[in-house]
Amino acid sequence: MTTTENIERLLAHHTVSASLRNIAGKVLNGQRITPEEGLTLFQEADLGLMGALANFIREKKHGDNTYFNRNFHIEPTNVCVYDCKFCSYSRMIKKREEGWEYTMDEMLEMVKKYDDQPVTEVHIVGGVLPQYDLEFYTSLFRKIKEHRPELHVKALTPVEYHYIFKKAKISYAEGMKLMKEAGLDSMPGGGAEIFHPDIRKQIAADKCTGEQWLAIHEEWHKLGMRSNATILYGHIENYEHRIHHLELLRQLQDRTGGFQTFIPLKFRNKDNQMSNVPEVSTVEDLKMYAFSRIYLDNFDHVKAYWPMLGRNNAQLTLAYGVDDIDGTIDDTTKIYSMAGSEEQHPAMSTRDLVNLIRQVGRKPIERDTLYNVVMDYTDVVFEEDEQNRGYTALPVLN
Ligand code: V47
Ligand code: SF4
């Protein structure tokens, strides 16, 4: 049965309302759905229908291609001046001496550790502290680029940039231009959380607002540069708040076209001030991924961040609209292990990532941060390389 036949079969079921059938028809015809239609879809569609529609779009855009990259993270500090209730970092300010605050030299050493490895990206994100200011980060980016010019620097979010530019008394436009000149290549999607002020003020009251987050991305896009976007879902927000968030992203994307990837981030409840809020189910996770794929018709990619979801659930999302599962990461992020993810030491070899994708019948494609294809692994077999702890990929000889 083709995907469209499957959707038609699901729509024929007597429990599917006329309005839901109409919305599904729009999705199949490539038409944009409104926020009101989005709410009906979220409330009425079961996981089977939502997933089939999202998969239809995913396959129309990318076929079976499933992207990953080879990257590592640097988290400059796990202490933060802000007090986001969902974050396992924010409590650290009270016991700052137990946390870490890396110096410039320590961070450069981390970059050098990867000198002989084929990574294409360093992802830098962490807490916000006064010593990490304009001078610090522009010097850090310059030094990384001097050392390894082709390494893509994907760093910091509007949360840091708003704080840094305010302290330096410069506008967002001036600040982002300085960052670009220093070597920043792209911006990750963090810090977005939930834009709706009713929820944002309860969970992330003191950092940049939703409007400021969007304004900084807009300035960055105006420089011809790319970025990602996230949502933190599955806590005290409802479907309307999620749709409001996605709607603002879709509108900005219509204006600039600068977003590459959307990454829904599942709220994890360990060791933070919202530990009393239960985590949502895997069914709810899959619905959120599928809904994002359907609603954000002007985003090329939807990514599942496996260190947060766990690798089995990340694998499942590939049938629910997701076409990207981030990177090898090499155990260099602590955000999610601290917040309760089942991935306590997130690291996957290229072989593991490729197999994860193959096991669900998709095509593994290594990409760089801007989605240029580095290697198509469809016909690649692996041989253990005894020289080092990794694996070498060898093309199959026909
Ligand atoms: O902004 C913090 C989230 C984000 C928790 O752009 C939490 O490629 C769940 O944005 N439960 C930072 N989430 C990470 C991020 C990211 C990750 C991977 C790839 C990309 C990309 C971006 O982590 C924060 C916040 O939303 N976060 N605490 C928690 N308890
Ligand atoms: Fe700080 Fe970011 Fe955590 Fe908020 S989410 S407390 S800004 S590290």
Q: What is the 3-state secondary structure (H, E, C) of 183-250?
A: CCCEECCCCCCCCCHHHHHHHCCCCCCHHHHHHHHHHHHHCCCEEEEEEEECCCCCHHHHHHHHHHHH
Q: How far is the CA of 87 from the centre of ligand 2 (A)?
A: 6
pLDDT on residue 337? 57
Q: How far is the CA of 393 from the centre of ligand 1 (A)?
A: 31
Nearest-angstrom CA–CA distance, 387 and 219 = 46
Which residues pair with residue 366 across a beta bridge? 68, 375
Q: Which whole-number Å values give the CA distances from 82 to 38, 201, 340, in the listed order?
A: 33, 13, 20
Which CATH architecture group holds 66-381? Alpha-Beta Barrel (3.20)
Question: Do 153 and 122 form a contact (C-beta atoms < 8 A)?
Answer: yes
List the residue whose alpha carbon is closest to atom 8 of ligand 2: 127
User: Where are the extended beta strands (E) located within the chain?
Assistant: 65-69, 71-74, 121-124, 152-155, 186-187, 226-233, 259-266, 301-302, 324-327, 363-367, 373-376, 380-384, 391-395
Ligand nearest to the CA of 267: 1
**What letter would DSSP give residue 117?**
S
- Select from 80, 91, 129 the residue to mutate for testing ligand 2; criterion: most ligand atoms less than 8 Å from CB: 80
Per the document, the length of the chain is 398
Give the residues surrounding ligand 2 with Cβ less than 6 Å away.
80, 82, 84, 87, 89-90, 127-128, 159, 204, 207
Record the tokens describing residue 251, joined without a space: 């509108």
pTM: 0.93
Closest ligand 2 atom to 81 CA: 1
Cα angle 224, 325, 289 (rounded to 5 degrees) comes to: 90
Nearest-angstrom CA–CA distance, 126 and 37 = 37
Q: How far is the CA of 264 from the centre of ligand 1 (A)?
A: 9
pLDDT values of the chain reduced to their tens digit, one per residue, 398 residues = 777 888 888 888 778 899 999 999 999 999 999 999 999 999 999 999 999 999 999 999 999 999 999 999 999 999 999 999 999 876 667 788 888 999 999 999 999 999 999 999 999 999 999 999 999 999 999 999 999 999 999 999 999 999 999 999 999 999 999 999 999 999 999 999 999 999 999 999 999 999 999 999 999 999 999 999 999 999 999 999 999 999 999 999 999 999 999 999 999 999 899 999 999 999 999 999 999 999 999 999 999 998 888 889 999 999 999 999 988 766 555 555 565 656 666 578 888 889 999 999 999 999 999 999 999 999 888 875 434 444 444 443 33
Nearest-angstrom CA–CA distance, 15 and 22 = 14
Q: CA-based diameter of the chain, in Å? A: 65
CB atoms within 10 A of CB 76: 26
Which CB contacts under 8 angstroms, 24+ apart, belong to 143-147?
A: 143/104, 143/108, 144/108, 144/111, 144/183, 145/182, 145/183, 147/108, 147/111, 147/112
CB atoms within 10 A of CB 39: 16
Nearest-angstrom CA–CA distance, 371 and 36 = 33
Record the tokens describing residue 172, joined without a space: 């967002």
Record the tokens describing residue 176, joined without a space: 């982002």
Q: How far is the CA of 232 from the centre of ligand 1 (A)?
A: 7
CB environment 174-209: b (16+ within 10 A), e (fewer) = ebbbbbeebbbbbbbbbbbbbbbeebbeebbeebbb
Residue with token string 């540069």: 225
Closest ligand 2 atom to 87 CA: 3
**What letter would DSSP give residue 119?**
-
What SS3 class is residue 98? helix
Q: How far is the CA of 21 from the centre of ligand 1 (A)?
A: 35
User: What is the β-pairing status of strands 259-266 and 121-124?
Assistant: unpaired
Nearest-angstrom CA–CA distance, 290 and 109 = 40
List the residue whose alpha carbon is closest to atom 18 of ligand 1: 305
Ranges of CATH 3.20.20.70 domains, the chain: 66-381
CB environment 55-74: b (16+ within 10 A), e (fewer) = bbbbeebbebbbbbbbbbbb
Question: Do 68 and 357 form a contact (C-beta atoms < 8 A)?
Answer: yes
